[in-house]
Amino acid sequence: MTKSSVSFAAARPVWPAGREREMNLTVGFRAVVGAAGGKRARLRLAASTLYRCYVNGRFVAHGPARGPHGYYRVDEWDLSGLLTEPLNVVAIEVNGANINSYYTLDQPSFLQAEVVVGEEIAAMTSAAGGAAAFEARILPQRVQRIQRYMYQRTFAEYYRMDAGAQRWRLAADKTEEVAACAETEPKRLLERGVNPSRFELRIPVRLLSEGRMQRNASAKRRRLGALLEIGQELRGYPEDELEVGMSDELQAWEAAERRETGVPYEADRPIGLTGGEYRTFDMGLNLTGFPGVRASCAERTKLVLLFDEILAPNGEPDPLRSGSVNAIVYELEPGEYELESMEPYTFRYLTLAAFEGAVRIEGTGLRELGNPDVDDAIFRSASRELNVIFEAARETFKQNVTDIYMDCPSRERAGWLCDSYFTARVEYWLTGEAAVERNFIENFRLPDSFPGVEEGMLPMCYPADIDWTPHGNIPNWGFWLVLELEEYARQRNGDRTLVREMEPRIRDYLNYFERFENEFGLLEKLEGWVFVEWSKANDFVQDVNFPINMLYAGALDAAGRLYGERIWLDKAARLRPAIRQLALAGRFFTDNAVRKDGCLVPTGETTEVCQYYAFYFGVASPDTDAELWRTLLEEFGPERDAAVSHSSVYPANAFIGNYLRLDLLSRYGEVERLLREIESYFLYMAERTGTLWEHKDTSASLNHGFASHVIQWLYRDVLGLREVEHDRRRVVAEVGSCGLEICSGTIPAAGGDIRLSWRREGDTVFCEFEGPADYVLEARAAPGLRLELATGRDGVR
């Protein structure tokens, strides 16, 4: 079992007595502490579900980093430069959701926190009270009985505030009623394990439009499933118990007047809104974090923040486009306010509207939530298009990789397998480490069990409560974790102890599938949500799905190599010829076979992604299947018109078919084709949102973590960093193979950055390399080219 040295010196886990299972309850904990006086001061805390912290009204932190069921990660924040007043208010706001979601776990609410100044405990959570104890108060400002933000997340945000609503985190005197707390059961604690966000403030780049909204009582309303289907499985407040019908109210308003402005945003120029007036701002690109405003009003006002990643046909953001409630509502009594969301959201476009009353906006923007370790990575080339795509990919990674690998930072914020296989590779390039990956794997390793899945099975995303998912768990998604685990161990110098500790879990998982193996060793009639990719391929998953069996062979091989298990290696060796015998019919591999009269009969249904699975997992190769490989290279890809070319082969989607295709081009040295297709697949995304998308179109998330994998191809295949082994202090470079004239890049490494740059003149590549003194470079030019290398030091071959 992975052990943690983290602990609290004095704090105990507490919550208002008898309310630790109450849904969407927000509690404020406050302590008044003296000046640090030059001593080191720090706040250590763990919580369920989410918290944010202020010192003297100044934002300090948001958290926690996510852990598995039954464990809680401990965050530590430096307060040394903040405790400067004789009396300082340390305020922690905690929202206890207590519902199932893909984002946070349904575990009882609590806070365990202490402020340490020097070696002394200046404040702590304790049910016993005392001079040093944090005081708790129920914060009614956030409306408790509100609808879910989305199926996959917890509650939307709706606030009712008066001028004194934020005083509890500002004033040292005691004015609010204190809630009696009870100590909860002891918590199993884990280190945070990853660096926190810098929480930098971002402001809009321009005022996009302005106008006026009006109520339309007869407007057609979309009825969100996450609103209607609350019950025993999908938990939340039923519609008839809601204090506000938030999504219905939003749809009752529509733009009546609109004027495009397009002028630069002026942060120091106040904006007045009254009588339904609105302003829409452009952040310049998709960003993730906490939207906020500085606002004041002299009359009762309803201020609404609406946002989305793109604009609707009417030129404004549609807050319900993805089925989420992309809005925050503030009912304000006269007063001055510093407003900021409790939860993180993703958007490029932000609308501020005064549905009622009048409000003065002194400033607006977003407090950014992102990975702090990616800014030192650089990629530059002679191709403007590739440079734009790199920046979009890095931005996508930054927003999706904070404490775990997420699919998207908006709709779900979920730790999906398969996505993580691709995203994990990028972390190593951008940070030189695998810290988030270690957290991600540790979360799968530690829990006693996974609620909502069968014994031995791995959940498709985690940490999550998937007992309510409409389709069931994806049983084959754990195969991607096996593949990732081998790469983590062998290519990213992963924690070998953690890899060994994962072995029983991997054994249990692979043993689960033995009951589904048929006479050929193929998996047949898998249960649950059997998933290949977001395309027609998902219609052909029974009885025997060949892409999934190809993936199964790959996972058995990876586990066999990783743990020295001959049985798994032999299984994989038998699977591949069995798949070829049944699935390879004519020119293409068919997707599935069904059982008829006791025999397996291939259906003849054929998808593009099936072909990529075959090559990716060694069922086919360019040597054994040269004609199929040529066909895929020359007649498939982003320019194919599926209605004309190979119309009987259903096209692949972005996830995961296009990524398998591009990775195969990389694997087999088709670098110039790889570059062309990267531009075709990603440039329009990068230019529209500054991030990379879940699908080829705008129907889903426009900021998806796995899409950052393009960074691996740019560093490895374009720049030419073929191998980077930080543990062995070794770099292998092959430059000049991509057809570009100039390229340079920087990646972080222990002891300093690694920098590689080159320019091509005729048949000569002039290359420069810099890196830490103990790194050895092995460099070569692409075939047919001559290398001229300058490093200024020894250790080069």
Quote helix, strand, coil % in the chain, to nearest 5: 25, 30, 45
Tens digits of residue pLDDT in 565-592: 999 999 999 999 999 999 998 899 999 9
Q: Topology of domain 378-719, per CATH?
A: Glycosyltransferase (1.50.10)
Q: How much is the pLDDT for 4?
A: 57
Residue 624 CA to residue 572 CA, distance in Å, equals: 18
Domain ranges across the chain:
14-191, 201-217+252-368, 378-719, 730-790
- How many CA atoms are closer than 13 Å to the CA of 39, on its beta-carbon side? 14
Domains 14-191 and 201-217+252-368 share a fold: yes
Q: How much is the pLDDT for 58?
A: 97
**Taking a C-beta distance cutoff of 8 angstroms, is the pair 775, 754 a contact?**
yes
Q: How much is the pLDDT for 792?
A: 53
Residue 157 CA to residue 139 CA, distance in Å, equals: 13
Averaged pLDDT, 425-451: 97
Averaged pLDDT, 159-172: 94
Domain 14-191 CATH superfamily:
Galactose-binding domain-like (2.60.120.260)
Tens digits of residue pLDDT in 387-417: 999 999 999 999 999 999 999 999 999 999 9
**Taking a C-beta distance cutoff of 8 angstroms, is the pair 740, 383 a contact?**
yes
Q: How much is the pLDDT for 227?
A: 85
The stretches of 91-243 forming alpha helices (DSSP H) are 225-228
Q: What is the mean pLDDT of the chain?
A: 95
* pLDDT higher than 60, residue 738: yes
Domain 201-217+252-368 has CATH 2.70.160.11: no
Q: How much is the pLDDT for 1?
A: 39
Percent of the chain predicted with pLDDT > 90:
91
pTM, whole model, 2 decimals? Answer: 0.96
* pLDDT higher than 90, residue 429: yes
Task: Say how many residues make up the chain.
Answer: 797
CATH for 730-790 is 2.60.420.10
Q: For residue 22, how many other CB atoms are within 10 A of its CB?
A: 17
Joined tokens for residue 99: 């519902």
In which band, very low, low, confident or very high, does the pLDDT at 795 lie, cut at 50, 70 and 90? Answer: very low
Q: How much is the pLDDT for 626?
A: 97
Output the CA torsion sign for 347, 319, 413, 510.
negative
What is each CA distance from 733 to 534, 715, 787, in whole angstroms? 36, 10, 11
Averaged pLDDT, 11-25: 98
